[in-house]
Amino acid sequence: MGTVVDANPEFDWYTVVSGTIALEQGDLLDDFPVIVPLPSLAEVSNKPLGAEIQQPSTVQLFNVVVMTQSCDFAKLSDEDEVVLCPRFDYSELIVAEPKFGGQDGWKNLINGRFIGAHLINRCEIENHEFDYQVIDLRRVFSAPFSVVKQVATNQGDRVRLLPPYREHLAQAFARQFMRVGLPIDLPREYPYHD
């Protein structure tokens, strides 16, 4: 007699890992410092390529998710860049972005109809609880691997998004950049005589 497989298995969304455990795609880091240039780029545009620029900036803290593929971490040196995207509590985001709120906004989020936004589940792990999160895939940060490791270590235990939800996030991230619009330049009808 064959093995019976549950047709509707449940998968955990998250696990908690120690701050000393190696980073992986889908790790959630809180209060990550991001250097944000202030809008005074007019004077920068006249500088030669590679010139040192005194650009005013500020440091803002973001809750982020690691987007760099897990398999790439083994090859990274401390100076290499890690890709991160900011994430926001759904209940707070809908105040600033009402399009994500209500029945229609919720359905569009869970169905992936907002290009550049991806919804992940709330976390109910004791001492690590958070609301549903919207990941902003259009705002991409990078930071040196050494900095990301230090922030992860300082944070201590961190929440990690698990498969298959991590892969679903990666797919949404790829979709953000792989959309291609081409002019219709090939004939729709077969151009040769039969």
Q: Which residue shows structure tokens 């897990």? A: 70
When the pLDDT of each residue in the chain is averaged and rounded to a whole number, the result is: 88
Are the CB atoms for 60 and 34 separated by under 8 Å?
yes
Q: Which residues pair with 61 in a beta bridge?
A: 33
Residue 20: CB atoms within 10 Å: 10
Question: pLDDT tens digits for 125-170?
Answer: 999 999 999 999 999 999 999 999 999 999 999 999 999 999 999 9
Question: pLDDT tens digits for 116-125?
Answer: 999 999 999 9
pLDDT over 70 at 21, yes or no: yes
Question: What is the domain partition of the chain in residue ranges?
Answer: 14-36+56-177
pLDDT at 1: 47
Question: pLDDT tens digits for 166-191?
Answer: 999 999 999 888 767 667 666 767 77
Q: Which residues pair with 27 in a beta bridge?
A: 160
In terms of phi and psi (left: phi > 0; alpha: psi -120 to 50; beta: otherwise), the region of 31 is: left
Burial of 27 (0-12, 13-18, 19+ CB in 10 A): buried
pTM (2 decimals)? 0.81
56 vs 78: CA distance, rounded Å:
26
62 vs 181: CA distance, rounded Å:
32
Q: Which residues pair with 168 in a beta bridge?
A: none
Q: First CA to last CA across the chain, in angstroms?
A: 56
